[in-house]
Structures are given as structure tokens and as C-alpha cells.
Amino acid sequence: MPKTFMPSCLNISELKKQQLEGLKWTVHHAYSGSEHYRGVMQKVGVKPEDIQSLDDIQKLPFTTVNDLKSGYPFPLLSARMSDVVRVHASSGTTGKRKILAYTQKDIDDWATFFARCYEMAGLSVMDRVQIAVGYGVWTAGVGFQLGCELFGAMAVPLGPGNIDLQCEFLIDLQPTVLCCTASMGLLMAEEIKRRGIRDKIALKKMIFGSERSSEAMRQHICDLIGLEELFDIVGMTELYGPGTGIDCPRHEGIHYWADYYILEVLDPDTLKPVAPGEIGEMVVTTLKKEAVPLIRYRTRDITRLIERPCSCGNIMPMHDRILGRSDDMIIFRAVNIYPGQIDSVLSTIDDIGPEYQIILGHGDDGRDYMTLRVESREGLERINHSEIERKVSTLIKKSLLVSCNVEAASYGSLPRSERKSKRVFDNRMS
């Protein structure tokens, strides 16, 4: 039987038993090893021995990005300095960067569940994996590589950019899998098509990390070069790095590694669990991490838990794609909306292009109004725009339960950006 990296637990109750063991270990370890964790637990009057069930996680205080920053350069360190073998850093848009330390066991655990990602995506040891994500202290190409090597496939560690070399290696070394961001995936698909090298390469799958991509964009990439499949890998530096979850070939959600961390989805305002299947902030607690364990770390990423088990039969639970950051949330007529939700709705409509804008304003009647600007799809210049407007507003109303005005225009009329486009314009304050 081929080697497997899937969890040892066979059913949910075994998984929960493992989670409780891991939770107890983590709380003991953090309490005895980190002054910060001991301090915040003492402050709310909770001791490691108070954690006797998975529900007791709610007794534990939250950890935030500020705790990581204020402990710079070795925040939340709970292991001996002599046991630390590596650091990675994650860049913040504001203020000081975060540095995360790893023991050798942390690195080994990361490689193991990353190998599981490749197994989940249906790779075999005969696959060749071109890794076109960043290497170095900031990002974690090394995670993609260690996981690939442990899995037993062949890594081609190229790093990002360098399109000529990417194409050359795709031809010469015949990689079957390309790991990159969605933007890079689109760029590569366009280049492969433009250069007419599709018949000379063996690419079957792409694995996307670290960037939200709409369904429309994914379909476009597949269509351009006839890929078999795309996968979304998730992860963040605070929680090891990329590889903490991936979708399986059924694509019903992101399977996440619940034997390595507990995922709570909480209302970012009340910090209480949202109703089953509702959208909220991902809060993670690690179960095996030695150097920098995370206890109820508020990731600011927004998603929802998928309650039903996957039809593939794997017991690892699932969450939805990342819908955005809690900082991006729009409150419109008392409804919380994330731009990612608008993405998802627009992606289901064939006749429109990938760009859009959300404009929020205040009406004379004192109410808030939302206008959604969309474009018709390329090549559909003669399409009836009012038909599109009707379709979009009906679907938005149905999915997000809010009314909005829709303005449709021709393809290319909205501004384009090489970097991240600004899509939300909130004029309600002015």
C-alpha cells in the first residue's frame, strides 16, 4: 500500500479525542513556557487543569496580531531558544512585521501535513511539481518544497516570476503540477497559450496559494490551456505557513487539518460562535505547535464552516474559501457583507466581466444606498445592459438579502490595475 499522510483517526469521535489531548497539551505547554500566555491566562483566572473538554476552549483568552507584534522579535515563544531551528516572517501592511519561530518538530509537522495536501489533490510520486511561489524569510516556498519531497514527488523549486525559465522548464522537465498565486497562474496560462507550447508541456494541475481568486478567473485559466484541475491551498505564517488545508477533487470546500488545529468561526464583534454555516472570523488554536503555539488566535480572515461531510468520505472537516478580511467588512443596512461574497455572486453570471465596483452612499431619505457597477463580458458588446442589471440585482438580493442598484457598462469601462484594484468606495461619511 502506498504511504499515506492522512490522519490516523478513523472517525469524528477519535478526532475529537485527539483534539482534546492536543488542546490540553498546548495550554500546559504555553502556560509553563511563555510569560505572555501565563500572564493572560492568570488575568482571566484560567489554569491549564481547567481545560477538560473541547468546549472549555471558550474559557481561554484570545490572542491577537498585537500580541505577536508587541513580543517582537520572538513573540509567544514557548519552547527553549536552543530548540528553535528556523524563523519565518510575515510582512504587515502597517507597523512592525511578525516573526514566527519553529522547532524541528514544527518543521516536520508542517512538511507532513503539506505532503497530505498533495495527497489530497490526487498527486502520485510520479508527479513533478514546479514551485513558483516565493522563497526566503517572507513566504514559504520551502513549505511547498519540503511537503513535495516528503510526499515523494519531484520538486522543481523555481520561485516566482521569470516567465521564460518557467516555460523552458515546463517543456524540458515536463512538470505536471504548477504551484503559484492565482495571478501568476493566469499569467502563465496566457503565456503558454501565446507561445503555443501547450502540446509540448505536461501540465495537468495548478495549486493556488495565498490569494483569493474568483470562480470566473479559475474557469478562465482552465479554459485557456485545458487544465484538468485547480486546487486552493490555504495557510498563514502564524499558523506554520501554507498547507493547513486544501480542497479535494470533489471541490466541495477546503478540507482543513483538524488534527493540527481547532478552527472556530466567531462573530468578529461579539466573539461568540456564529450560527452553523454562517460567515465569521477564523480563530485558530494549534494542537501540536511547540515554538509558537497559538491559542484562539484571531486571524481576521473571514469564512464559514461547511457543516456537511465531503462526498469524498475523508473525515477532515471543511471550511469555505476565504471571503476576505474582517477589516474589509461593509455594514450595509445592518447586514455584514464581505467583498468576497459579491465576487462569488458575480462569478455565477456568465454575461459579465471580472471587474466590478461597490459604491456606498447616503440618500436624502437618510437611508444607505449601494450601487454595484459591473461590465459585460468581453465580446458581448451588443448585449442588453438592462437585462444584466436585472439579473445581478436579483441574484444579489437572493444571496445577500440586500437591495442594490446595478449599473452595467461595456467591457473594459472600469479601471484596471496591475496590483490590487480598489473596488469598494464608501461615500457615506462625506
* Residues near Zn ion, by CB under 5 A: 248, 250, 310, 312
Strand ranges (E), 277-409: 279-286, 297-306, 318-319, 324-325, 330-332, 335-337, 352-362, 368-376, 405-409
Contact yes or no for 15/278 (Cβ under 8 A): no
Q: Least CB distance from residue 115 to Zn ion, whole Å?
A: 17
Would you say 317 or 353 has its CB closer to Zn ion? 317
Nearer to Zn ion, 243 or 354 (CB): 243
Minimum gap (Å) between residue 298 Cβ and Zn ion: 27
Q: Min. distance of Cβ 346 from Zn ion in angstroms?
A: 26
Neighbouring C-beta atoms of residue 310, cutoff 10 Å: 18
Q: How far is the CB of 248 from Zn ion (least distance, A)?
A: 3
Using the minimum distance from each CB to Zn ion, give the nearer residue, 250 or 272. Answer: 250
- Of 312 and 395, nearer to Zn ion (C-beta) is 312
> 102 or 118: whose CB is closer to Zn ion?
118
Burial 83-108 (b: 16+ CB within 10 A, else e): ebeeebebeeeeeeebbbbbbeebbe
We find the least distance from the C-beta atom of residue 250 to Zn ion, in angstroms, to be 5
Task: Tell me which amino acid residue 288 is.
Answer: K
Per the CB < 8 A criterion, the answer to whether 63 and 296 are in contact is yes
State the nearest-atom distance from the C-beta of 319 to Zn ion, in Å.
Answer: 12
Nearest approach, Cβ of residue 399 and Zn ion (Å): 24
Instruction: Indicate the residue among 115 and 248 with the shorter CB distance to Zn ion.
Output: 248
- Report in angstroms how near the CB of residue 270 gets to Zn ion at its nearest: 31
> Are the C-beta atoms of 174 and 203 separated by less than 8 Å?
no
Which among 34, 106, 42, 45 is positioned nearest to 68, based on CA atoms? 34
Is residue 133 within 8 Å of 159, Cβ to Cβ?
Answer: yes
Closest to Zn ion by CB, 37 vs 151, is: 151
- CB-nearer residue toward Zn ion: 312 or 409: 312
- Pairing relationship of beta strands 324-325 and 98-103 according to DSSP bridges: unpaired
Say if residues 298 and 317 touch (Cβ distance below 8 Å): no
Cell numbers 501565563 label which residue? 38
Q: How far apart are CA 316 and CA 312, in angstroms?
A: 10
Q: Phi and psi of 246, rounded to 5°?
A: -160, 155
Q: Do residues 209 and 179 lie in contact, with contact meaning Cβ atoms separated by under 8 Å?
A: yes
